[in-house]
Amino acid sequence: MVHPTAVETRDEMSVLGLGTWENDDRQQVADSVETAIEMGYRHIDTAQIYGNEAGVGDGIAAADVPREDIFLASKVWIDQLAHENVIASTKESLEKLGTEYADLMYVHWPAGDYDAEETLSAFAELKRDGFIERIGVSNFEPEHLDAARDVLGDDVFANQVEIHPRLQQSALREYCEDADIELVAYSPLARGGVFDMPTLSEIAAKHGVSEPQVSLAWLRAKGVTTIPKATSEAHIRDNWGSLDLELDDEDIEAIDGIEQTDRRVNPDFGPDSWA
């Protein structure tokens, strides 16, 4: 089974996507996805645990853009990571999304039923059979990435993690750059924390933009794809406006100099190294 795909290289991958975490109202998520796509977004991110895959599918179907032009990503939850459950739950996700394939399917966390060999071999099977185009992982630290690459080789396409100016993840960024693994930032606005950062506020005032736009532009300058969650048209549009912002060297150096470790997402089952 071969599918047309909108994305073959990073240059063609939309570096700004729409995140849908904590948006489980079917009509609301459908409306936000449709609005984003009509505005120009082409990367839509969801997950089984979000409970909104059907709404995401509704939004994609309602938008006047062909499915093959959308980069659609979802994630398998930690209680579905046994081999057969990966396959069955992914097929259920595709049915909810109203699509024959996902452009990218992630292991949501290295937790629960996760076993590198058993779990990732199921992802490889899904890719071989055309149900997913790419294999991703999420919330993986270097040691988890090493084990994943032992199983998949170069087929680890992306690692989705929390990254923003308050949690810069420099070591992980260096690892992924060296390994040619795409980094995708969730919570790139630090769950609203970017509004409480004087450095970002000064840069925003200098350019006449918002603090979220500064954060997104900084991440883009670092080669990181971002998927900020937004539901209102105003926020979706403000995030989209970050693509017009080019930070200068002084701006980037100022943000690089922020020394904080402010992790906003840290569940009990997160990697031991986060404790």
What positions carry a catalytic annotation? 50
Structure tokens at 21: 């975490």
Of 105, 95, 134, 86, nearest in space to 45 by CA: 105
Q: What is the distance between the alpha carbons of residues 6 and 132, in angstroms, rounded to a whole number? A: 13
Q: What is the distance between the alpha carbons of residues 262 and 270, in angstroms, rounded to a whole number? A: 15
Of 99, 111, 132, 103, nearest in space to 49 by CA: 111
Question: In what helix (H) or strand (E) does residue 104 lie, and over which residues does it extend?
Answer: strand 104-107
Q: What is the distance between the alpha carbons of residues 258 and 275, in angstroms, rounded to a whole number? A: 21
Q: What is the distance between the alpha carbons of residues 256 and 261, in angstroms, rounded to a whole number? A: 13
Q: Are 169 and 187 in contact (CB under 8 A)?
A: no
Neighbours of 24 (CB within 10 A): 13
Structure tokens at 214: 């500064």
Written as one letter, the residue type at 262 is: D
Q: How far is the CA of 159 from the CAs of 17, 55, 109, 166, in angstroms?
A: 15, 24, 10, 19
Structure tokens at 266: 């840290």
Residue at token pair 């840069």 = 203
